[in-house]
């Protein structure tokens, strides 16, 4: 399936955006370096990124140089924190037009459950027929990956950034992150809007942000 066919398939399923969540500190690195970076590329270039315990595993199953996206806003769907961080990058699927053929894939399961001997067919949807049967918008285990992304992924197709408001009493980490991101966006991606996610009380994130020690909010919102 080529990129145009994939984009049409997604459009027909009402998948119009691709979502990538990260910490504030790693997001700052993205802005300062012209785009989203795979874990491997950031590491090779000696750039700061928040440590992730999956890095070693990601190397074994060859996703360390891949950029990960979801087909939905997981925070909103799950009504809870996105594990990867409070900053969400929202890209238009027009991004697909700009990618080399065959560089974007959709995983059949979360690579955390992969092992090194698996075949491409076991890991990814490789045809439109397979996608028609198995793809479900909003399935948290089916990730979009841009394979072997060795350069920053440009902000050309980035439509907006959404930042969680943790709703905690001590607002200084949130405010610092918000101001810092605003400055970076003005400087490096001036057409992109920055939204603050104001969650209703029933969203689990509010409870989580409040119940964790202050170190948790600090870690997710610190700017470096
Ligand atoms: Zn929330």
Domain boundaries, the chain: 3-221
**Ligand 1 mean position, distance from CA 164 (Å):** 7
**Ligand 1 mean position, distance from CA 82 (Å):** 9
pLDDT of amino acid 213: 65
pTM above 0.85, yes or no: yes
Contact 75, 163 (CB under 8 A): no
**Ligand 1 mean position, distance from CA 74 (Å):** 10
pLDDT of amino acid 214: 64
**Ligand 1 mean position, distance from CA 199 (Å):** 5
Query: What is the spatial order of strands in the sheet that 87-92 belongs to?
Result: 17-22, 87-92, 158-164, 193-197
**Ligand 1 mean position, distance from CA 167 (Å):** 9
Higher pLDDT among residues 168 and 38, named by residue: 38
**Ligand 1 mean position, distance from CA 83 (Å):** 12
Q: How far apart are CA 155 and CA 188, in angstroms?
A: 9
Give the mean pLDDT of 153-175: 94
């Amino acid at each position: 399936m080529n990129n145009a066919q994939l984009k049409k398939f997604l459009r027909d399923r009402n998948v119009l955006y691709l979502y990538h969540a990260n910490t504030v500190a790693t997001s700052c690195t993205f802005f300062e370096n012209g785009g989203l970076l795979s874990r491997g590329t950031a590491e090779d270039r000696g750039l700061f990124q928040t440590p992730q315990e999956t890095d070693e595993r990601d190397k074994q199953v060859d996703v360390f140089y891949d950029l990960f996206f979801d087909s939905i806003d997981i925070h909103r769907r799950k009504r809870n924190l996105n594990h990867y961080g409070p900053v969400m990058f929202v890209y238009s699927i027009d991004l697909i037009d700009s990618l080399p053929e065959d560089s974007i894939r959709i995983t059949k399961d979360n690579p955390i459950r992969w092992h090194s001997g698996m075949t491409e067919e076991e890991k990814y949807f490789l045809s439109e027929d397979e996608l028609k049967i198995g793809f479900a918008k909003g399935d948290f285990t089916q990730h979009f990956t841009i394979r072997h992304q060795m350069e920053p992924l440009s902000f050309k197709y980035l439509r907006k950034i959404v930042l969680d408001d943790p709703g905690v009493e001590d607002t200084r980490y949130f405010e610092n992150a918000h101001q810092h991101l605003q400055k970076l966006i003005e400087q490096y991606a001036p057409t992109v809007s920055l939204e603050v996610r104001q969650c209703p009380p029933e969203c689990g994130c509010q409870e989580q942000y409040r119940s964790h020690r202050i170190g948790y909010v600090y870690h997710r919102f610190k700017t470096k």
